[in-house]
Amino acid sequence: MLRTILERLPTSVSSNLQELRLRQERPLCLRCIQDEFFVTHDGRVTRNPREAYFITKSDIEKIFLNLTRSSVYTLDEELRSGFITISGGHRVGFTGEAVLQNGKVKSLKNISSLNIRISREIKGCADLVLPLIIDIHLNTVYHTLIISPPGCGKTTLLRDIVRQISNGIQSMGFRGVNVGLVDERSEIAACYNGQPQNDVGLRTDVLDRCPKAEGMYMLVRSMAPHVIATDELGRAEDIAAVEEVLNAGIKLITTVHGIDLDDIKKRPVIDRLLRKTLFNRIIILSSTKSVGTVEDVLDGSNGKSLLEKGKRGDKKL
């Protein structure tokens, strides 16, 4: 039933689909770019939840069973992490009743919600910022921090930066460099069976589903990267690993959730990094005009804007 409904979706909706939200005994919900709809029994989109198809327990069970059967990870690993990545790079998150052991989540049971996130690459979305974060004379990149609220394109931008600096940028005369990518939540490279489903470049080595701090240490010791990239700094151990990377002479490109500089300075571990002016470039994203609006690119040493005034807030991912 559910498959038939989704196959009837208008192309204008399916081509822009970002998330499918399936919640037991609640309406089927879709999120597209800056919009959200419910879906009826015959595949029409509607704003009225009462008209929508309501997800059954059987729907959840069938989808979850099919997903876990095709996964390379054990069911215990999947249930503990709360998500899996499937072929094509799409990620499925799930919730239910937590099973605890020694105060920590061991597994989940009675799965009641699924969030299917559609993986989409936007090649070339980093074109505006790349000239500002690359030192062409030394054929290297600056230590770069991307600030963005959730859902505003930071992972998409990071992926394209990694792809382009890994491949090399002929138009800039930039030769490709080795990149080590720590993809803790399988969102950047979206590995399946260890193979990136997204294009992250010819010279990129990926540590999939690996904790950020541990992954950064591993890459420093074993892979001799020129650049290390990772997503969503936040924990104290992440910051210690960042300092280790910088001390090793490796360039770093990473992201953090936030609205702007003032916002992220409220978090002590991030403020510690900013006070040391470890980042040479700071990119700020928003959704003021649309998802992925580049609000500004700052010089990390003095906070001055590097974007021409006419370009601020105009470029979208």
What are 296-309's pLDDT values in tens digits? 999 999 999 998 75
Rounded to whole angstroms, how far apart are CA atoms 178 and 169?
14
Rounded to whole angstroms, how far apart are CA atoms 299 and 307?
10
What is the pLDDT, as a whole number, of residue 267? 92
What is the pLDDT, as a whole number, of residue 16? 86
Rounded to whole angstroms, how far apart are CA atoms 126 and 154?
10
Enumerate the CATH 3.30.450 domain ranges in the chain, comma separated. Answer: 2-117
Q: What is the CATH T-level fold of the domain 130-311, as seen in this structure? A: Rossmann fold (3.40.50)
CB 18 within 8 A of CB 291: no
Enumerate the CATH 3.40.50.300 domain ranges in the chain, comma separated. Answer: 130-311
Confidence of residue 71 (pLDDT cuts 50, 70, 90): low
What is the pLDDT, as a whole number, of residue 48? 97
- Domain at 2-117, CATH class: alpha beta
pLDDT at 226 over 70: yes
pLDDT at 312 over 60: no
* Beta bridge partner(s), residue 230: 182
pLDDT at 311 over 80: no
Residue with token string 């000239």? 131
CB 107 within 8 A of CB 90: no
The whole-model pTM stands at 0.88
* Beta bridge partner(s), residue 228: 180, 252
Which residue pairs from 38-47 have beta carbons closer than 8 angstroms and sit at least 24 positions apart in sequence?
A: 39/5, 39/6, 39/9, 40/5, 41/5, 42/5, 42/8, 43/4, 43/5, 43/6, 43/7, 43/8, 43/9, 43/10, 44/8, 45/9, 45/10, 45/13
Q: What are the φ/ψ torsions at residue 140 (nearest 5 degrees)? A: -145, 180
pLDDT at 316 over 80: no
